[in-house]
Structure 1
Amino acid sequence: MSLDFGLKGAHVLITGAAGGIGLETVRVFCQLGARVTAHYNSRIGALSEIPDIVSLQADVRDETSVERLLAEATEKNGGPVNVLIVNHGIWPAEAKSIADMDLKQWENTLAVDLTGPFLLCRAYLRALKGASEEVKKAASIVFIGSTAGRYGEAGHGDYASAKSALQGGFMLTLKNEIVHIAPQGRVNSVNPGWVVTPLAEDTLEDTAFVERVLATTPLRKVGRPEDVARQVAVLASPVLSGHVSGMGIMVEGGMEGRLLWPPKSS
């Protein structure tokens, strides 16, 4: 049976597209017949090997750079962006408690993981105001959140705080505002747990760490990029999810929380 996602010919902009989840998301939307604009920060990576996409560089922390990204996407890929997938993000690898975290790290993580989405969504919505009704019909924003935004994450309070705001107050506000521009516009988030990506490979080689992560996860496995990418496509689809907005879909194998780590000394 063939399933029509209603995304053939839709212009989809995916940020952080050179990474594991982003790259797989590009592939999924290409398979669905979308016109894909793939954003990257500094390294284009495997994006250069994917045919029929437009790859653009931008610093999501910079207002001018983000505005240029939306303008170039419109110019180089056949018109205004229908669907915005906000996938980019940073997760500082070295664990630091709030007490030990310096202000520079805190500010940079929030600049990328929260201010960046704000700038992107603002530019997208402003462009949407002048778009045709046909473009507006497929209007959709999908954020990539995290289990850290729901449960917190010791040693990564900067990342957890940004994701919590993104998939919480920011997403819920936008789903109420987008309809004033595009009456059928929708905003949702996909919130994965640990996913096997190049950036996470070293961490996931620690067997004890993986066992601890999966201790409250009924499916007892770490996610794959395609698990996230396919759910993003489902939420972006005006056919499959046309009456779904303001939802945060957890893609984490049924995870129910975190174990306290390190354990308290007796």
Structure 2
Amino acid sequence: MDLGFEGVHVLVTGASGGIGLAITKLFLEHGARVSAQYNSKPGPLDNIKTSNDRLHVIQADVTEEKAVTDLFLAAGEAWKQEAQVLILNHGIFTAEDVDLVDMELSQWDRCLSVNLTGSFLVARQFLRQLRRSRAGCGPDLSKVAIVIIGSSSGEFGEESHIDYAVTKSALQTGFLSTLKHEIIKIAPNGRVNSVAPGWVNTVMAKPLFSDPDLLRRTLAATPLRRIAEPEDIATQVLILASSKASAHVTGTNISMAGGQEGRIPPDPEDYVALKSGMK
């Protein structure tokens, strides 16, 4: 099926690895012109660029207002047109388990700055460049779409990672539900949706694969009995971003946790330890 991305300018944040890299590759396969943002290391992006002239790689810190403005200027200059599709994929996750009672303010602030404020800055600049172009000979606004990469953490919470869970919850609820009303003021057919992956086979999932018992309990709570691959997420993102496949879909958050309906069941030994501590 032709999903209508031939010649469409797609900007992907956090594109250098994992889900972001899979998304970038899939859009390229479908004929899009892709502006791929990364923060510190481009990873495989530079190698892909040498064999694909529809990829433009841009370094930018999404927490810096000027850097985000420059990101869109560079992307627009590269393709001689503004971005029509935005994939908000960037984000940070602290690997170490830290309960709220022990969490430093610096960790909290950093996570909100990257995941939440960074998404605000990028989405705002995306809409601003579309509004400016609308007055002239801008891009085809019928293709406009935003897809947010949320998380099952935003729905169920994430013990010892409250900073991450809060940012994802905000993005896939209030941010999503509000932006779907605002985007149509600029692009009448513009759509905003999100996906909420559970465990995905990326660097972030290393703790899962290094702990057989945790993996067992995770799969026991997942009806599909497997961990998602980045390509699983990328395919759903592609469909949501398509004005052909999802023309009447907006304000929707799609769970991609394999049917998981809650957090991972705790180890029974945790209850024993808790009960002992209460004596």
TM category, shorter: over 0.9
Is 1:38 the equivalent of 2:40? no
Matched residue, 2:256: 251
Whole-angstrom distance in 1 between the partners of 2:61 and 2:112: 14
Matched residue, 1:57: 59
Structure 2 stretches of 5 or more lacking a match?
none
Give the length in aligned residue pairs: 264
Whole-angstrom distance in 1 between the partners of 2:114 and 2:213: 30
Matched residue, 1:198: 203
Structure 1 stretches of 5 or more lacking a match?
none
After superposing the two structures, state which structure 1 stretch, 192-201 or 168-177, moved more: 192-201
Letter in 2 for 1:240: A
Of the three residues 90, 94, 111, the one matched with 1:92 is: 94
Letter in 2 for 1:143: I
Structure in which a larger fraction of residues adopt helix: 2
CA shift for structure 1 position 228: 0.2
Whole-angstrom distance in 2 between the partners of 1:239 and 1:153: 35
Matched residue, 1:151: 156
- Alignment map for 1:81-120 (pairs within 5 Å): 81-120=83-122
Whole-angstrom distance in 1 between the partners of 2:156 and 2:220: 14
Matched residue, 2:129: 127
Whole-angstrom distance in 2 between the partners of 1:15 and 1:67: 14
Of the three residues 145, 163, 166, the one matched with 2:168 is: 163
Is 1:11 the equivalent of 2:6? no
CA shift for structure 1 position 186: 0.2
Whole-angstrom distance in 1 between the partners of 2:157 and 2:57: 33
Matched residue, 2:177: 172
Matched residue, 1:21: 19
Q: SS of the residue aligned with 1:45?
A: coil
Residues 189 and 249 of structure 1 are in contact (CA less than 8 Å); yes or no, is this contact kept in structure 2?
yes
Whole-angstrom distance in 1 between the partners of 2:218 and 2:161: 15
Residues 80 and 135 of structure 1 are in contact (CA less than 8 Å); yes or no, is this contact kept in structure 2?
no
Is 1:241 the equivalent of 2:232? no
Is 1:216 the equivalent of 2:221? yes
Deviations 1:4-47 (A, max 9, x none): 10111100000000011111101100010000010000101100
Whole-angstrom distance in 2 between the partners of 1:259 and 1:47: 34
Residues 66 and 123 of structure 1 are in contact (CA less than 8 Å); yes or no, is this contact kept in structure 2?
yes
Deviations 1:172-224 (A, max 9, x none): 10001000110000000011001001342354221111122222210011000
Residues 74 and 80 of structure 1 are in contact (CA less than 8 Å); yes or no, is this contact kept in structure 2?
yes
Deviations 1:36-88 (A, max 9, x none): 01000010110011122100000011111111101110011231000000001
Letter in 1 for 2:11: L
Residues 82 and 139 of structure 2 are in contact (CA less than 8 Å); yes or no, is this contact kept in structure 1?
no
Q: SS of the residue aligned with 1:121?
A: helix
Whole-angstrom distance in 1 between the partners of 2:203 and 2:261: 26
Query: Between Structure 1 and Structure 2, whose CA radius of gyration is higher?
Result: 2
